[in-house]
Amino acid sequence: MATATLAAGCFWCVEAAVRLIPGVTATEVGFMGGHVANPTYRQVGSGATGHAAVVRIEYDPDALTYAELLSSFWKFHDPTQRNRQGPDVGTAFRSVIFVHDEAQNHAARESKMALERSGRYGVPIVTQIVPAGDFWRAEEHHQRYLEKRGLALGAEG
């Protein structure tokens, strides 16, 4: 199994979208990229910790490549929005690819450059690509949040 960590706004929706991708075997929502150990959802949402709300993804690289995962990532959020997605505003909701090794770093940068060259958005892609750091798991009630409430996304996304 391989691990990827992505941030694209509210982690509830990101997790629900990611879980629909064939080859994804497990997900956890939490926080990465900040300066406070074991932050709470409330602390992160305040913007005071520097963390992004993330989804840590376990996937089978024989069934899903990292490049394919990134292709889906670009489709389920707007990578031109700085520090926001939809109604969620603040640095906790920024678009980030947290890379776990040099191969992921290279693939992420190539993927972002290809999207920029495509002209799909006509404005700069603001998604950050940074080394993964400590992952802090969010409180249990945030895990698979939409699914627990019968609001999971359908196959159409």
Active-site amino acid positions = 10
Residues in Cβ contact with 124 at an 8 Å cutoff, skipping those fewer than 6 apart: 80, 116
DSSP 59-98: E-TTTS-HHHHHHHHHHSS-TT-TTEETTEESGGG-EEEE
Six token digits for residue 31: 């926080």
CA atoms of 152 and 118, how far apart (whole Å) = 31
- CA-CA distances (angstroms) from residue 95 to 8, 126, 148? 4, 7, 25
CA atoms of 4 and 94, how far apart (whole Å) = 17
Q: Which of 9, 5, 8, 14 is nearest to 145 (CA)?
A: 14
